[in-house]
Amino acid sequence: MCPIWPLHLIVIYLLALCPLWVICQSVPNLISNFVPNNITVHMDDTEYVNLTITGTGMQAGDIFTIETERDHVAIGEWNSTYSISEDNSDNNIWHGKVRVIGNFLGRTNLSINTIRDGAAHLVKGALPVTVIRPARVIDTIFTTSVATLVSLIFINFGCAMHWPTVKEVLKRPIGPGIGMIGQFLFMPLMSFGLGFLIFPDKPEMRLGMFFTGVSPGGGASNIWTFILGGNLNLSLAMTSISTFAAFGLMPMWLFSLGQVVFRNANIVVPYQRIGTFVVGLIVPLAIGLGMQRWTPRLAAFMVRILKGFSTALLLFIIGFAIATNLYIFELFTWQIIVAGIGIPWLGYAFGYALARILKQPHPDALAISIETGVQNTGISIFLLRYALDQPEADLTTVVPVAVAIMTPIPMTAIYIYQKIRGCIDRRNEPKKIVEDLSPVSDRVESNVVTTVDVEN
């Protein structure tokens, strides 16, 4: 029997643990400390962060590497040496500097690894990185130019508006009533349900869809109604009524279903923005009506150029918006495309179908359809900017931007169809042949006289 029994079991256990203890001592146990401890970077810009690494297990010759969870959002580069010296290993402290480059909107974490003998060991601690979009001069130019041109186009609408017809519309508001049902009942409920179907796990995207659905009709609806031959007077009346009604109906939806979509959102209803839109709608229309009364010749000229000016304005808005926001296309997924198509196109279909069911003529049904489907995406973007922090605010605006891009596609197709159909109809029109029913003797005599005159 062993003389140190049962202590020999403890000795054998300690001897077995010694190699494991030596191996553990060789593995670095390090902690990273970033100053500042979180950082916000603009897209395509750079920020610098001071880094201090402390702990045990540093060895001369080891190197540090930088890693980010999402390289698409941001990457890190060394702005100093990244190897461990003898002094570092003796003092168990290392100082360096990291350059953080913002690539695209979003959030990510930046961490440090220690490389020893080809193996990577994670350094504890990470740097939260947020990448946002900087304010640009071109965005201000775009907003200002569009606001100016839209004001001019509404002056043209005022010149073209037939006030007695508008009064008749308001006396028998069947069309505006159908439009209100589509705009403030169908669109909010449809965008609410479609959001849960497309984005079941992304409440911020559902909020983007819902904010788009509860917005009032956009000014582009009047332009498209005019271009496609709808009832412009009805469209203008519906836009005005829809914008005024938004003051009461938008808060109702935002504080009911809006809270279900995203309970933690700090929703602020942009009354000032809606009020500015109302003034921007009414004042140019009043100027156009005044021109109709006091400068009829100038008003007639404005009406003549209305169609060409409207088309040019739409092309300008679409082209300029795409050119200044190309980054947004990187966020497009099949869900975003379906959302962008679903909101306006289902609005068109519902508005036209309900109007025809209620026996409205085609020009009125077309105006109701367009007014229902075209949303004021500017207000929805404004709401998202207030409700969410960056970069989530910019990321979720991809929904109203997708809606704005997909909105004109059906109407453009209809416009092209109308043009092609018109050309075909004009080509197939039978030419009118005027028969000469005069007596043959008179025609012969006339030919003789003509011949004599030519010879003379």
What is the phi/psi pair of residue 259, to 5°? -70, -30
Domain range summary for the chain, segments of one domain joined by +: 29-132, 137-427
Across the range 359-383, mean pLDDT stands at 86
Across the range 50-57, mean pLDDT stands at 88
Q: What CATH fold (topology level) applies to the domain 29-132?
A: Immunoglobulin-like (2.60.40)
Confidence of residue 46 (pLDDT cuts 50, 70, 90): very high
Instruction: At 382, list the tokens.
Output: 């404004």
Could you give the CA distance from residue 105 to residue 126 in angstroms, rounded to a whole number?
A: 19
pLDDT digits (tens, 9 = 90+) for 279-290: 776 788 788 888
Rounded (5°) CA angle 54-52-79: 135
pLDDT digits (tens, 9 = 90+) for 312-340: 776 777 677 777 777 778 888 899 999 99
74: helix, coil or strand? strand
Could you give the CA distance from residue 380 to residue 388 in angstroms, rounded to a whole number?
A: 12
DSSP state letter for 43: T
DSSP state letter for 57: -
pLDDT, greater one: 340 or 25: 340
Across the range 5-32, mean pLDDT stands at 59
pLDDT digits (tens, 9 = 90+) for 174-222: 888 898 899 889 999 999 999 889 988 888 788 889 988 988 776 678 8
Question: For residues 384-415, b (16+ Cβ closer than 10 Å) or e, as one string?
Answer: bbebbeebbbbbbbbbbbbbbbbbbebbeebb
pLDDT digits (tens, 9 = 90+) for 257-312: 877 776 655 555 556 665 676 677 678 878 888 898 899 888 888 878 876 776 67
In the chain, the largest separation of any two C-alpha atoms, in whole Å, equals 157
Confidence of residue 147 (pLDDT cuts 50, 70, 90): confident
Residues in the chain: 456
Q: Are 162 and 231 in contact (CB under 8 A)?
A: no
Neighbour tally for 161: CB within 10 Å: 19
Instruction: At 4, list the tokens.
Output: 């140190």
Among residues 170, 172, 317, 187, the alpha carbon closest in space to that of 246 is found at: 187
Confidence of residue 342 (pLDDT cuts 50, 70, 90): very high
On the question of pLDDT at 114 being above 80, the answer is yes
Considering 32-36, 121-125, 322-326, 429-433, the range whose residues carry the highest mean pLDDT is: 32-36
Sequence-ordered alpha helix ranges (H) in 215-331: 220-227, 232-254, 257-261, 271-294, 296-304, 306-324
Across the range 375-400, mean pLDDT stands at 77
Burial environment of residue 297 by CB neighbours within 10 A (0 to 12, 13 to 18, 19 or more): exposed
Tokens 């049902």 found at: 181
What is the reported pLDDT for 277?
Answer: 64
Rounded (5°) CA angle 209-350-406: 45
End-to-end alpha carbon distance in the chain = 157
What is the reported pLDDT for 18?
Answer: 53
Q: What CATH fold (topology level) applies to the domain 137-427?
A: Na+/H+ antiporter like fold (1.20.1530)
Could you give the CA distance from residue 344 to residue 213 in angstroms, rounded to a whole number?
A: 9
Could you give the CA distance from residue 122 to residue 119 in angstroms, rounded to a whole number?
A: 10
Neighbour tally for 339: CB within 10 Å: 27
Could you give the CA distance from residue 236 to residue 239 in angstroms, rounded to a whole number?
A: 5
Q: Are 221 and 374 in contact (CB under 8 A)?
A: yes
Could you give the CA distance from residue 402 to residue 47 in angstroms, rounded to a whole number?
A: 31
Across the range 344-370, mean pLDDT stands at 92
Among residues 335, 325, 321, 146, the alpha carbon closest in space to that of 223 is found at: 146
Neighbour tally for 110: CB within 10 Å: 22
pLDDT digits (tens, 9 = 90+) for 395-451: 888 888 889 889 889 998 988 998 898 888 888 777 655 454 455 445 444 444 444
Q: Are 49 and 97 in contact (CB under 8 A)?
A: yes
What is the reported pLDDT for 24?
Answer: 46
Could you give the CA distance from residue 73 to residue 75 in angstroms, rounded to a whole number?
A: 7
pLDDT, greater one: 120 or 146: 120
Tokens 């007077």 found at: 233
Q: Are 391 and 130 in contact (CB under 8 A)?
A: yes
Could you give the CA distance from residue 172 to residue 79 in angstroms, rounded to a whole number?
A: 72
Say what percent of the chain tops pLDDT 90: 20
Average pLDDT taken over every residue of the chain: 79
Rounded (5°) CA angle 414-302-162: 75
